[in-house]
Amino acid sequence: MSGGVDSAVAAARAVEQGHEVVGVHLALSRMPGTLRTGSRGCCTIEDSMDAQRAANKLGIPFYVWDFSERFKLDVVDDFVAEYQAGRTPNPCMRCNERIKFAALLEKGLALGFDAVCTGHYASIESDLDGNLELHRSLAMAKDQSYVLGVLTQEQLRHSMFPLGATASKDLVRKEATERGLSVANKPDSYDICFIPEGDTRDWLKEFVNSEPGQIIDTDGQVVGEHDGLVGFTIGQRKGLNLGRPAKDGRPRYVLEIRPKTKEVVVGPEAALEIAELAGDRFSWCGKAPENVSEFFDCEVQVRAHGDAVAAQAAVIDGELVIRLVAPLYGVAPGQTAVLYLGTRVLGQTTIDRTVSAAASIV
Amino acid sequence: MGELAGLMRVFLDHASTTPLRPEAKSALTNALELTGNPSSVHSSGQQTRALVEDARDQVAQAVGCNRSEVIFTSGGTEANNQAIKGLFWASGKKLIISSPLEHHAVIDPIQWLEQNQGAEVYWLKVDRGGQVDLTDLQIVLNARASEVALIALMWVNNETGVVTDIPAVTSVANKFNVPVHSDAVAAFGNVDINFASSGLSTMAISGHKVGAPIGVGALIVGRDQKPSSLVHGGSQERSLRSGTLSYPMIASFGAASAAASADLDARKTRLLELRNELEAKVLVKLPNAMVTVANSKRSFHNAHFIFPGAQSDNLLFLLDQSGISASAGSACTAGVLAPSHVLLAMGIEPELADCSIRVSLGHSTTKSDIDAFVSAIEAAYPVAVLEAANQKAI
């Protein structure tokens, strides 16, 4: 229970369904500079209290479980390392993969529980053979199946998402009000939870060793300088501070980040068109498609709040290769590509490399 | 796994707070029937003032002090703050001597004085048995006694139950005319306390550890001591602690103090037997377990264990799910357990400090509570060990 309205209502529904429910709040924060002997970062205390209030209201026991070290290791350090390597990571995905549905689930199972129940907007369905499938939630605007794309069949078997069949977040808030939960009108959280000010670039400066370098165009011509690679993202247009305009006078975008040479490559919008994505850190969400070595039709989504677009995918030489039917703009290595078939999540990969549409024509 | 309501709880966390004693409850409810500010001159005020002064007698008798030495406070934390800051400010000196085994209610005001008021702190050496090194105290006093504002050492440790030899401390300190404050919150009601013969200058006690409600306590301030005041106002309580006197809470505190003092010997005999039985049974059932401070002088109400390989939070969770309330280190604000600063200061390895459980007995503890704990920990330990191994493997 994060202290938000979704997990509170999810817990309430689980209780109502007759499950034996225990509320658990994950202590994930290890913010620097807030130390008293033996105490931890304080930015989530209020959230923890909100979660406890909800648990009290539901009449269930409530505990705070400390995963701060694991979170630091598996999520925060990974986030920093990915940026350092010039990629754009999704920490929520990593948290689901390594913390919520791994460390927490393992702990729950070891302590005698059957499942982790969360307030994610997604649905688990079973096919005729009893294989579990992850689907988009009914509330399309809130759908969170993307960040759950990392879950395996075994993890799905021990997961519950009671909000999946609810048509909108407004209904969840309304239900929270009716249940007397004080978090009913608590604002949604959008920022990355461990970056308190919401300014990723500023936050990263403290952790990522960033040195000045050159901004070059696709021909290798130096067109400007930067004071550190931190925070540059593929597709970025603003804040490049290029001295000279492009020859054609058109805006230029970040096309590539090269940590080894500290270079940022910029170019025209057309060069952002990506025709193919691939990565070897992939997994199947539930049962794998049959014969994955041959390209099959699917859709792919590359951002938590993006649309899925038509694609074909196959596993080639240990890599999940995704060919886009129409090009996508500004996809960065480090992002996660989640494959869908209609509402069903098929699987995912962290993107290691992209092939631009221009290159594939050549 | 049960819900919060409707469970028969086995309460073995008396060191955190202990159930209201019947005498304290009736003193409280009787007092609630009355109206009157104890500082008013009219008969209504005199009526409630009488309750306060009765309680002052009861507390004074329970701790062996003069009645005018009892300064009622909101509890132990306030009493410790008043003593430490008040003695420091009044002394005009800079050096504070204390130990890393103290409760945060002592450590934190001292550190606040260090960070904000120019205090210098000397933390005494302590041993693995949880005892303060009095030779170290002698050495630092020999060298710097004239600079010392106060010495603050707890009478009984709230986590381990280890008893400090307070008369030995004061016999050293008094030679140098250095005031000694003792946090006696964990001692009051569990060891014989006589303030008059203790040699202490000030001593903090708390009501809810002896069967009064939470929210009342006292600082015992020797007649010859003039600490500066922390709370200014209407000059109540020797002008040290202003604020309208909460006569219902104070009356209840007085009744609880009298009751805890009256049954101390009988309770000690009964609980010592139960505590020893508890420790013996746990060690038989779980040969890996350790009694943390088996060889130090400690209070009869405390059984402190280390269960190697099983983290405290998992054990407490499993015990809680079996209906047993026990404790580990002090819980921090967000409800996350941090390794105990006391155990770490004693030199216990962090991996072991992380595996500690404090079982504390009190006036309502029975043999069936002990048996319930033994069977619950027997079941919980292997589960918690397995869980810890799992987490390492992920």
How does DSSP assign B118-182, residue by residue? --EEEEPPB-TTS-B-HHHHHHHHHHHGGGEEEEE--SB-TTT-BBP-HHHHHHHHHHTT--EEE
Domain end marker among B214, B237, B262: B262
Q: To the nearest whole angstrom, how far is the Cα of A42 from the nearest Cα of chain B?
A: 8
Q: Does a structural domain hold residue B3?
A: no
Quick one: pLDDT at residue A241?
A: 79
Q: With contact defined as beta carbons under 8 Å apart, do A155 and A105 qualify?
A: yes
Q: What is the pTM of this model?
A: 0.85
Q: Is A95 a catalytic residue?
A: yes
Q: Does a structural domain hold residue B4?
A: no
Q: How confident is the model at residue A35 (pLDDT cuts 50, 70, 90)?
A: very low
Quick one: pLDDT at residue A160?
A: 97
Q: For chain B, give the percent of residues with pLDDT over 90.
A: 92
Token pair 């975008």 in the structure block, residue: A253
Do B74 and B109 share a structural domain?
Answer: yes
Q: How confident is the model at residue A361 (pLDDT cuts 50, 70, 90)?
A: very low
For residue A81, give the 3-state DSSP assignment. Answer: helix
Do B271 and B243 share a structural domain?
Answer: no
Ramachandran region of residue A95, left (φ > 0), alpha (ψ -120 to 50) or beta? alpha
Quick one: pLDDT at residue A69?
A: 87
Q: How confident is the model at residue B394 (pLDDT cuts 50, 70, 90)?
A: low
pLDDT, mean of residues A319-332:
92
Quick one: pLDDT at residue A215?
A: 92
Q: Which of A28, A64, A72 to mutate to test the interface with B (most CBs of B within 10 A)?
A: A64
**Which chain A positions have a beta carbon within 8 Å of B337's beta carbon?**
66
Contacts by residues B142-148 (CB-CB < 8 Å, ≥ 24 positions apart): B144/B95, B145/B176, B145/B177, B145/B178, B146/B93, B147/B93, B147/B94, B147/B95, B147/B120, B148/B93, B148/B95, B148/B96, B148/B97, B148/B176, B148/B178
Q: What is the ipTM of this complex?
A: 0.81
Cβ burial of A230 (10 Å; 0-12, 13-18, 19+) is buried
Alpha-carbon distance of A274 to A313, in angstroms, equals 15
Do B348 and B288 share a structural domain?
Answer: yes
Do B254 and B284 share a structural domain?
Answer: no
Q: Does a structural domain hold residue B363?
A: yes
Instruction: Render pLDDT for A189-213 as a digit per residue (tens, 0 to 9).
Output: 767 778 766 778 788 888 877 788 9
* Residue of B280, B282, B207 lying closest to B248 (CA atoms): B207
Do B164 and B307 share a structural domain?
Answer: no
Q: Which residues of A touch B (CB under 8 A)?
A: 20, 22, 25, 27, 36-40, 42, 44-45, 48, 52, 56, 59-61, 63-66, 68, 70, 102-103, 106-107, 110-112
Quick one: pLDDT at residue A34?
A: 33
* Residue of A306, A299, A287 lying closest to A340 (CA atoms): A299
* Residue of A78, A109, A73, A115 lying closest to A93 (CA atoms): A78
Q: How confident is the model at residue A42 (pLDDT cuts 50, 70, 90)?
A: very low
Q: Does a structural domain hold residue B5?
A: no
**Which chain A positions have a beta carbon within 8 Å of B333's beta carbon?**
39, 42, 45
**Which chain A positions have a beta carbon within 8 Å of B321's beta carbon?**
22, 61, 112
Instruction: Render pLDDT for B114-128 as a digit per residue (tens, 0 to 9).
Output: 999 999 999 999 999
Cβ burial of A346 (10 Å; 0-12, 13-18, 19+) is buried
Contacts by residues A69-75 (CB-CB < 8 Å, ≥ 24 positions apart): A69/A30, A70/A98, A70/A99, A70/A103, A70/B391, A71/A26, A71/A28, A71/A30, A71/A95, A71/A99, A71/A194, A72/A30, A74/A98, A74/A99, A74/A103, A75/A28, A75/A99, A75/A194
B33 touches chain A (CB under 8 A): no
CATH number (domain holding residue B152): 3.40.640.10
**Could you tell me where the DSSP H helices lie in chain B?**
22-32, 43-63, 76-91, 104-116, 134-144, 166-175, 195-198, 247-262, 264-285, 312-321, 341-345, 350-353, 367-393
Q: Pseudo-torsion of CA B22, B28, B30, B32, nearest 10°?
A: -150
Q: How confident is the model at residue B7 (pLDDT cuts 50, 70, 90)?
A: low
Residue A234 pLDDT > 90:
no
Domains of chain A: 5-178 (3.40.50.620), 210-267 (2.30.30.280), 273-361 (2.40.30.10)
Return mean pLDDT, chain A.
88
Do B271 and B258 share a structural domain?
Answer: no
Q: With contact defined as beta carbons under 8 Å apart, do B130 and B346 qualify?
A: yes
pLDDT, mean of residues A333-355:
95
Q: How confident is the model at residue A32 (pLDDT cuts 50, 70, 90)?
A: very low
Across the interface, of B1, B5, B338, the residue whose CB is closest to A59 is B5
Q: With contact defined as beta carbons under 8 Å apart, do B148 and B290 qualify?
A: no
Q: Does a structural domain hold residue B1?
A: no
Alpha-carbon distance of A170 to A161, in angstroms, equals 17
**Which chain A positions have a beta carbon within 8 Å of B112's beta carbon?**
none
Q: How confident is the model at residue A237 (pLDDT cuts 50, 70, 90)?
A: confident
Q: Does a structural domain hold residue B254?
A: yes
Q: Output helix, strand, coil percentages for chain A, rounded to the nearest 5.
A: 25, 25, 45
Across the interface, of A20, A48, A102, the residue whose CB is closest to B334 is A48
Tokens of B251: 């009356």
Alpha-carbon distance of B206 to B52, in angstroms, equals 16
Domain end marker among B241, B262, B283: B262
Question: What Å distances lie between residue B5 and A56, A58, A60, B9, B379, CA to CA?
Answer: 10, 11, 8, 10, 23
Domain end marker among B244, B262, B280: B262
User: Measured on CA atoms in the order B318, B324, B328, B331, is the torsion positive or negative?
Assistant: positive
Instruction: Render pLDDT for B145-189 as a digit per residue (tens, 0 to 9).
Output: 999 999 999 999 999 999 999 999 999 999 999 999 999 999 999
What's the total number of domains in chain B? Answer: 2
Number of H helices, E strands in chain A: 10, 18
Quick one: pLDDT at residue A39?
A: 29
Residue A29 pLDDT > 80:
no
Ramachandran region of residue A315, left (φ > 0), alpha (ψ -120 to 50) or beta? beta
Do B241 and B271 share a structural domain?
Answer: no
B333 touches chain A (CB under 8 A): yes
Alpha-carbon distance of B272 to B385, in angstroms, equals 30
Weakest-pLDDT range from A261-265, B27-31, B68-72, B337-341: B337-341
* Residue of B359, B354, B276, B367 lying closest to B325 (CA atoms): B359
Which residues, other chains included, contact A16 with Cβ-Cβ below 8 Å and sequence gap of 6+? Answer: none
Residue A79 pLDDT > 60:
yes
Q: With contact defined as beta carbons under 8 Å apart, do B195 and B8 qualify?
A: no
B114 touches chain A (CB under 8 A): no
Q: Does a structural domain hold residue B208?
A: yes
Residue of B nearest to A51 (CA): B334
pLDDT, mean of residues B194-211:
98
Q: Does a structural domain hold residue B333?
A: yes
Do B234 and B321 share a structural domain?
Answer: no
Do B276 and B133 share a structural domain?
Answer: no
Q: With contact defined as beta carbons under 8 Å apart, do B235 and B43 qualify?
A: no
Tokens of B372: 């319930």
Alpha-carbon distance of B366 to A318, in angstroms, equals 64
Do B268 and B206 share a structural domain?
Answer: no
Instruction: Render pLDDT for A100-136 as a digit per residue (tens, 0 to 9).
Output: 999 999 999 999 999 999 999 999 999 889 999 999 9
DSSP track, A204-235: HHTTS----EEEEETTS-EEEEES-STT--TT
For residue B358, give the 3-state DSSP assignment. Answer: strand
CATH number (domain holding residue B313): 3.90.1150.10
Do B290 and B250 share a structural domain?
Answer: no
Residue A30 pLDDT > 60:
no
Quick one: pLDDT at residue A205?
A: 81
Q: How confident is the model at residue A359 (pLDDT cuts 50, 70, 90)?
A: low
- As annotated, the active-site residues of B are 332
Domain that holds residue B205: 22-262
Residue B331 — φ and ψ, nearest 5°? -75, 140
* Residue of B169, B176, B162, B161 lying closest to B134 (CA atoms): B169
Do B167 and B30 share a structural domain?
Answer: yes
